[in-house]
Amino acid sequence: MTTSIEVLGGESEDECRSSLPRDMKERVFQIIKDNPGYTEAELFEKIPSGISCTSFKNLISLLIKTNKLAEDGEGRLCWIYNPELTHTYLSRPELFI
């Protein structure tokens, strides 16, 4: 049984994935990576036109819930997903507690 993450507006993760074309999502991801410390509103101003505010907020919510994006107390966002670094640390048994 697969679980589904519910994002803003009650959409499931799968619905959020299908709401934006892949190339559009990749551009949004790159903008987020290139602009760490920006708020949602500041990032929304930088994204290409054609993405609705609701789709953008759903995408941000999904990224936070899947631990690809972190948000601090002031609402600033930063891309934290790094599978290569995670693998490096997980493969070092001396780092386990």
- Domain CATH for 60: 1.10.10.10
Contact (Cβ atoms closer than 8 angstroms) between residue 40 and residue 75: yes
Task: Please tell me which residue, 29 or 16, carries the higher pLDDT value.
Answer: 29
Domain assignment of residue 70, given as a range: 8-95
Q: Cα dihedral sign for 10, 16, 19, 20?
A: positive
Tens of pLDDT along 44-53? 999 888 888 9
Structure tokens at 29: 């991801």
Task: Measure the CA–CA gap between 56 and 46, rounded to whole angstroms.
Answer: 12
Q: Angle at the Cα of 5 (from 62 to 79), degrees rounded to 5?
A: 25
Tens of pLDDT along 27-70? 999 999 999 999 999 999 998 888 889 999 999 999 999 999 99
Query: Average pLDDT, stretch 72-91?
Result: 92
Task: Please tell me which residue, 76 or 16, carries the higher pLDDT value.
Answer: 76
In total, how many domains does the chain have? 1
Q: Is the pLDDT of residue 77 over 90?
A: yes
